[in-house]
Amino acid sequence: MKKIIFVTAASLVMLSGCSQVQEWSEDLFGQKQQESQEKEPNVQAPDNGQDEQAVPEQPEETVPEELQLESRYFNDVKEVDGKQVIQNPANLLALVNKEYALDEYKPADLVRPNVPFVFGNQELEKAHLRKEAAEQLEKMFADAKAKGVFLTAISGYRSYEYQKMLLEREIAQFGEEKAVMAVAPPGQSEHQSGLAMDISSESNQFQVNIEFAETKEGKWLAENAYKYGFILRYPEDKVSVTQYQYEPWHYRYVGMDAAKVIHENDWTLEEYFKNVKKI
Protein backbone atom coordinates (compact mmCIF):
# COMPACT_ATOMS: atom_id res chain seq x y z
CA MET A 1 0.00 0.00 0.00
CA LYS A 2 2.93 2.36 0.61
CA LYS A 3 3.92 1.91 -2.97
CA ILE A 4 0.63 3.38 -3.98
CA ILE A 5 1.10 6.29 -1.61
CA PHE A 6 4.57 6.95 -3.00
CA VAL A 7 3.23 7.34 -6.53
CA THR A 8 0.51 9.69 -5.32
CA ALA A 9 3.03 11.72 -3.38
CA ALA A 10 5.19 12.18 -6.42
CA SER A 11 2.18 13.46 -8.24
CA LEU A 12 1.41 15.93 -5.49
CA VAL A 13 4.97 17.23 -5.56
CA MET A 14 4.63 17.99 -9.28
CA LEU A 15 1.24 19.66 -8.89
CA SER A 16 1.54 21.50 -5.58
CA GLY A 17 5.21 22.45 -5.28
CA CYS A 18 8.09 21.55 -2.97
CA SER A 19 6.22 22.36 0.30
CA GLN A 20 4.74 18.84 0.25
CA VAL A 21 8.06 16.97 0.18
CA GLN A 22 8.86 16.99 3.94
CA GLU A 23 5.36 15.95 5.02
CA TRP A 24 5.27 12.97 2.70
CA SER A 25 8.84 11.97 3.55
CA GLU A 26 7.92 11.73 7.23
CA ASP A 27 4.87 9.68 6.35
CA LEU A 28 6.95 7.23 4.33
CA PHE A 29 9.35 6.69 7.32
CA GLY A 30 6.43 5.77 9.59
CA GLN A 31 6.27 8.94 11.70
CA LYS A 32 2.70 9.61 10.52
CA GLN A 33 1.68 6.03 9.85
CA GLN A 34 -1.72 6.30 11.54
CA GLU A 35 -2.64 9.46 9.63
CA SER A 36 -1.55 7.79 6.42
CA GLN A 37 -3.71 4.74 7.10
CA GLU A 38 -6.71 6.96 7.76
CA LYS A 39 -6.19 8.79 4.47
CA GLU A 40 -5.29 5.69 2.48
CA PRO A 41 -8.83 4.62 1.53
CA ASN A 42 -9.33 7.96 -0.20
CA VAL A 43 -6.20 7.59 -2.30
CA GLN A 44 -7.45 4.68 -4.38
CA ALA A 45 -10.15 5.26 -6.99
CA PRO A 46 -13.49 3.63 -6.18
CA ASP A 47 -13.97 0.33 -7.93
CA ASN A 48 -17.36 0.94 -9.50
CA GLY A 49 -16.55 -0.64 -12.84
CA GLN A 50 -16.85 2.69 -14.66
CA ASP A 51 -14.42 5.24 -15.96
CA GLU A 52 -14.88 8.41 -13.90
CA GLN A 53 -13.74 10.49 -16.87
CA ALA A 54 -16.23 8.96 -19.30
CA VAL A 55 -18.54 11.54 -20.90
CA PRO A 56 -22.06 10.35 -21.59
CA GLU A 57 -22.81 10.10 -25.30
CA GLN A 58 -24.96 12.88 -26.66
CA PRO A 59 -27.85 11.88 -28.90
CA GLU A 60 -27.14 12.65 -32.54
CA GLU A 61 -29.05 15.66 -33.82
CA THR A 62 -31.93 14.69 -36.04
CA VAL A 63 -31.80 16.41 -39.43
CA PRO A 64 -35.13 16.76 -41.25
CA GLU A 65 -35.34 14.61 -44.35
CA GLU A 66 -35.76 17.63 -46.60
CA LEU A 67 -32.38 18.96 -45.38
CA GLN A 68 -30.53 15.73 -46.14
CA LEU A 69 -28.81 15.83 -49.52
CA GLU A 70 -26.85 13.16 -51.35
CA SER A 71 -23.16 13.95 -51.78
CA ARG A 72 -23.41 13.82 -55.58
CA TYR A 73 -25.33 17.09 -55.53
CA PHE A 74 -22.48 19.03 -53.92
CA ASN A 75 -19.79 20.70 -56.01
CA ASP A 76 -16.71 18.58 -56.66
CA VAL A 77 -14.05 21.21 -57.26
CA LYS A 78 -10.45 21.40 -58.33
CA GLU A 79 -8.26 24.49 -58.26
CA VAL A 80 -7.20 25.49 -61.76
CA ASP A 81 -5.23 28.70 -62.31
CA GLY A 82 -6.44 30.04 -58.97
CA LYS A 83 -10.11 29.24 -59.66
CA GLN A 84 -12.32 26.63 -58.01
CA VAL A 85 -13.48 24.74 -61.09
CA ILE A 86 -16.48 22.42 -60.85
CA GLN A 87 -15.62 18.86 -61.84
CA ASN A 88 -19.23 17.59 -61.90
CA PRO A 89 -20.91 20.31 -64.01
CA ALA A 90 -23.82 18.08 -65.08
CA ASN A 91 -25.07 18.12 -61.48
CA LEU A 92 -28.59 19.64 -61.46
CA LEU A 93 -27.73 21.49 -58.24
CA ALA A 94 -24.33 22.77 -59.38
CA LEU A 95 -23.54 25.95 -57.44
CA VAL A 96 -22.18 28.32 -60.07
CA ASN A 97 -21.21 31.76 -58.78
CA LYS A 98 -18.21 34.04 -58.25
CA GLU A 99 -16.53 31.38 -56.13
CA TYR A 100 -17.20 28.24 -58.18
CA ALA A 101 -16.72 28.24 -61.94
CA LEU A 102 -17.37 26.00 -64.94
CA ASP A 103 -14.72 25.29 -67.51
CA GLU A 104 -15.82 25.31 -71.17
CA TYR A 105 -18.53 22.77 -70.34
CA LYS A 106 -21.53 22.40 -72.65
CA PRO A 107 -24.50 20.30 -71.49
CA ALA A 108 -25.14 17.20 -73.58
CA ASP A 109 -28.93 17.28 -73.23
CA LEU A 110 -29.83 20.76 -74.45
CA VAL A 111 -33.27 21.02 -76.08
CA ARG A 112 -35.53 23.85 -77.16
CA PRO A 113 -38.56 24.20 -74.87
CA ASN A 114 -41.89 24.78 -76.56
CA VAL A 115 -42.52 28.25 -75.13
CA PRO A 116 -42.75 31.74 -76.65
CA PHE A 117 -39.34 33.38 -77.17
CA VAL A 118 -38.81 37.08 -77.65
CA PHE A 119 -36.91 36.35 -80.89
CA GLY A 120 -39.60 34.07 -82.29
CA ASN A 121 -38.56 30.86 -84.03
CA GLN A 122 -34.95 31.83 -84.69
CA GLU A 123 -32.60 28.94 -83.94
CA LEU A 124 -30.27 30.52 -81.41
CA GLU A 125 -28.22 28.84 -78.67
CA LYS A 126 -30.02 30.87 -76.00
CA ALA A 127 -33.30 29.19 -77.01
CA HIS A 128 -32.18 26.01 -75.23
CA LEU A 129 -32.23 24.48 -71.76
CA ARG A 130 -31.30 21.10 -70.38
CA LYS A 131 -34.07 18.58 -71.00
CA GLU A 132 -35.50 18.33 -67.47
CA ALA A 133 -35.49 22.09 -66.99
CA ALA A 134 -37.05 22.62 -70.43
CA GLU A 135 -39.92 20.24 -69.66
CA GLN A 136 -40.70 22.00 -66.39
CA LEU A 137 -40.46 25.42 -68.06
CA GLU A 138 -43.11 24.30 -70.56
CA LYS A 139 -45.45 23.26 -67.73
CA MET A 140 -44.89 26.53 -65.90
CA PHE A 141 -45.60 28.67 -68.97
CA ALA A 142 -48.71 26.61 -69.82
CA ASP A 143 -50.14 26.88 -66.29
CA ALA A 144 -49.43 30.61 -66.21
CA LYS A 145 -51.19 31.09 -69.54
CA ALA A 146 -54.23 29.19 -68.26
CA LYS A 147 -54.46 31.81 -65.50
CA GLY A 148 -54.12 34.75 -67.87
CA VAL A 149 -50.42 35.26 -67.19
CA PHE A 150 -48.40 35.43 -70.41
CA LEU A 151 -44.69 34.78 -70.00
CA THR A 152 -41.94 35.18 -72.59
CA ALA A 153 -38.55 33.48 -72.56
CA ILE A 154 -35.65 35.83 -73.20
CA SER A 155 -32.37 33.93 -72.80
CA GLY A 156 -31.44 30.40 -71.72
CA TYR A 157 -28.18 28.59 -72.41
CA ARG A 158 -25.11 30.67 -73.15
CA SER A 159 -21.72 29.26 -74.09
CA TYR A 160 -18.45 30.17 -72.40
CA GLU A 161 -17.44 32.19 -75.47
CA TYR A 162 -20.73 34.07 -75.64
CA GLN A 163 -20.52 35.01 -71.96
CA LYS A 164 -17.01 36.33 -72.50
CA MET A 165 -18.30 38.57 -75.30
CA LEU A 166 -21.16 39.84 -73.12
CA LEU A 167 -18.82 40.82 -70.29
CA GLU A 168 -16.39 42.60 -72.60
CA ARG A 169 -19.26 44.55 -74.13
CA GLU A 170 -20.61 45.49 -70.69
CA ILE A 171 -17.17 46.66 -69.50
CA ALA A 172 -16.74 48.80 -72.59
CA GLN A 173 -20.13 50.43 -71.97
CA PHE A 174 -20.27 50.81 -68.18
CA GLY A 175 -16.78 50.12 -66.81
CA GLU A 176 -15.50 47.02 -65.06
CA GLU A 177 -16.83 47.74 -61.56
CA LYS A 178 -20.45 48.00 -62.70
CA ALA A 179 -20.10 45.32 -65.34
CA VAL A 180 -19.07 42.53 -62.97
CA MET A 181 -22.09 43.20 -60.75
CA ALA A 182 -24.44 42.68 -63.69
CA VAL A 183 -22.70 40.20 -65.96
CA ALA A 184 -20.92 37.06 -64.78
CA PRO A 185 -17.41 36.33 -66.05
CA PRO A 186 -17.17 33.43 -68.50
CA GLY A 187 -17.43 30.15 -66.61
CA GLN A 188 -19.26 31.79 -63.71
CA SER A 189 -22.64 32.26 -65.37
CA GLU A 190 -25.54 29.95 -64.51
CA HIS A 191 -26.69 30.29 -68.11
CA GLN A 192 -23.75 28.13 -69.18
CA SER A 193 -25.13 25.32 -67.01
CA GLY A 194 -28.24 25.16 -69.20
CA LEU A 195 -30.40 25.45 -66.09
CA ALA A 196 -31.22 29.18 -66.07
CA MET A 197 -33.75 31.20 -68.04
CA ASP A 198 -34.34 34.94 -68.18
CA ILE A 199 -38.09 35.62 -68.37
CA SER A 200 -40.14 38.73 -69.14
CA SER A 201 -43.47 39.69 -70.66
CA GLU A 202 -45.09 41.81 -73.31
CA SER A 203 -46.52 43.98 -70.52
CA ASN A 204 -42.91 44.85 -69.66
CA GLN A 205 -41.91 45.41 -73.31
CA PHE A 206 -39.94 42.15 -73.05
CA GLN A 207 -37.29 43.93 -70.99
CA VAL A 208 -35.17 42.31 -68.28
CA ASN A 209 -35.27 45.02 -65.64
CA ILE A 210 -36.28 45.75 -62.04
CA GLU A 211 -39.73 46.89 -63.19
CA PHE A 212 -40.60 43.32 -64.21
CA ALA A 213 -41.01 42.46 -60.52
CA GLU A 214 -44.08 44.72 -60.32
CA THR A 215 -45.87 43.26 -63.33
CA LYS A 216 -48.57 40.61 -63.04
CA GLU A 217 -46.19 38.14 -64.67
CA GLY A 218 -43.30 38.97 -62.36
CA LYS A 219 -45.45 38.58 -59.27
CA TRP A 220 -46.91 35.28 -60.47
CA LEU A 221 -43.42 33.87 -61.08
CA ALA A 222 -42.15 34.95 -57.66
CA GLU A 223 -45.08 33.15 -56.01
CA ASN A 224 -45.28 30.03 -58.17
CA ALA A 225 -41.98 29.21 -59.90
CA TYR A 226 -40.84 26.90 -57.07
CA LYS A 227 -43.77 24.56 -57.82
CA TYR A 228 -42.03 23.74 -61.10
CA GLY A 229 -38.52 23.48 -59.66
CA PHE A 230 -37.36 27.04 -60.40
CA ILE A 231 -36.07 29.62 -57.92
CA LEU A 232 -35.56 33.36 -58.13
CA ARG A 233 -31.79 33.17 -58.15
CA TYR A 234 -30.79 36.73 -57.22
CA PRO A 235 -33.28 38.19 -54.70
CA GLU A 236 -33.35 41.87 -53.80
CA ASP A 237 -32.38 41.38 -50.14
CA LYS A 238 -29.60 38.85 -50.77
CA VAL A 239 -27.10 40.82 -52.85
CA SER A 240 -24.46 40.41 -50.13
CA VAL A 241 -24.90 36.63 -50.37
CA THR A 242 -25.09 36.13 -54.13
CA GLN A 243 -22.72 38.98 -55.03
CA TYR A 244 -25.04 39.87 -57.90
CA GLN A 245 -27.58 42.65 -58.21
CA TYR A 246 -31.31 41.98 -57.90
CA GLU A 247 -32.60 40.19 -61.01
CA PRO A 248 -36.36 39.51 -60.83
CA TRP A 249 -36.19 38.01 -64.32
CA HIS A 250 -33.53 35.33 -63.70
CA TYR A 251 -34.87 31.90 -62.72
CA ARG A 252 -32.78 28.82 -62.07
CA TYR A 253 -33.92 25.21 -62.19
CA VAL A 254 -32.94 23.14 -59.13
CA GLY A 255 -35.70 20.51 -59.06
CA MET A 256 -38.95 20.63 -57.11
CA ASP A 257 -37.61 19.26 -53.82
CA ALA A 258 -34.81 21.80 -53.45
CA ALA A 259 -36.94 24.62 -54.85
CA LYS A 260 -39.64 24.02 -52.22
CA VAL A 261 -37.13 24.13 -49.35
CA ILE A 262 -35.42 27.23 -50.72
CA HIS A 263 -38.74 29.04 -51.25
CA GLU A 264 -40.17 28.17 -47.83
CA ASN A 265 -37.01 29.29 -46.02
CA ASP A 266 -36.40 32.39 -48.15
CA TRP A 267 -32.92 31.14 -48.98
CA THR A 268 -30.57 31.57 -51.90
CA LEU A 269 -28.84 28.54 -53.41
CA GLU A 270 -25.74 29.49 -51.42
CA GLU A 271 -27.74 29.46 -48.18
CA TYR A 272 -29.35 26.17 -49.10
CA PHE A 273 -25.96 24.47 -49.27
CA LYS A 274 -24.97 25.96 -45.92
CA ASN A 275 -27.99 24.36 -44.27
CA VAL A 276 -28.28 20.92 -45.84
CA LYS A 277 -26.40 17.89 -44.54
CA LYS A 278 -24.40 15.72 -46.90
CA ILE A 279 -25.41 12.04 -46.82
- What per-residue confidence (pLDDT) applies to 43? 47
Give 31's pLDDT tier (boundaries 50, 70, 90): very low
Q: Higher confidence at residue 255 or residue 36?
A: 255
- What per-residue confidence (pLDDT) applies to 118? 98
What is the percent of the chain where pLDDT is above 90? 74
- SS3 readout for the chain: CHHHHHHHHHHHHHHHCHHHHHHHHHHHCCCCHHHHHHHHHHHCCCCCCCCCCCCCCCCCCCCCHHHEECHHHCCCEEEECCEEEECCCCCCCCCCCCCEECCCCCCCCEECCCCCECCCCCCCHHHCEEHHHHHHHHHHHHHHHHCCCCCEEEECCCCHHHHHHHHHHHHHHHCHHHHHHHCCCCCCCHHHHCCEEEEECHHHCCCCCHHHHHCHHHHHHHHHHHHHCEEEEECHHHHHHHCCCCEEEEEEECCHHHHHHHHHHCCCHHHHHHHCEEC
Q: Are 159 and 137 in contact (CB under 8 A)?
A: no
247 counts as catalytic: yes
Cross-strand bridge partners of residue 200: 152
pLDDT of 71 > 60? The answer is yes
Q: Higher confidence at residue 22 or residue 143?
A: 143
Nearest to 133 by CA among 154, 107, 151, 152: 107
Q: Evaluate if pTM is beyond 0.85.
A: no
Cross-strand bridge partners of residue 77: 86
Q: How many angstroms separate the CA atoms of 77 and 87, rounded?
A: 5
Phi and psi, residue 181, nearest 5°: -80, -20
Give 183's pLDDT tier (boundaries 50, 70, 90): confident
Q: What is the mean pLDDT of residues 271-277?
A: 97
Nearest to 252 by CA among 272, 237, 278: 272
List pLDDT tens digits, range 188-199.
999 999 999 999
Cross-strand bridge partners of residue 188: none
Give 63's pLDDT tier (boundaries 50, 70, 90): confident
The chain-wide mean pLDDT, for the chain, equals 85
Q: What is the mean pLDDT of residues 98-119?
A: 97
Residue in 65, 247, 264, 271 annotated catalytic = 247
pLDDT of 114 > 50? The answer is yes
List pLDDT tens digits, range 149-174.
999 999 999 999 999 999 999 999 99
Of 29-33, 81-85, 129-133, 208-212, give the lowest mean pLDDT range: 29-33
Q: Are 235 and 269 in contact (CB under 8 A)?
A: no
- What per-residue confidence (pLDDT) applies to 60? 65
Q: What is the mean pLDDT of residues 99-120?
A: 97
Q: Are 77 and 100 in contact (CB under 8 A)?
A: yes
Q: Higher confidence at residue 49 or residue 111?
A: 111
- What per-residue confidence (pLDDT) applies to 44? 52
Q: Are 92 and 74 in contact (CB under 8 A)?
A: no
Domains of the chain: 2-43 (no CATH), 65-278 (3.30.1380.10)
Pair type for strands 110-111 and 100-101: unpaired
List pLDDT tens digits, range 212-224.
999 999 999 999 9
Phi and psi, residue 198, nearest 5°: -85, 135
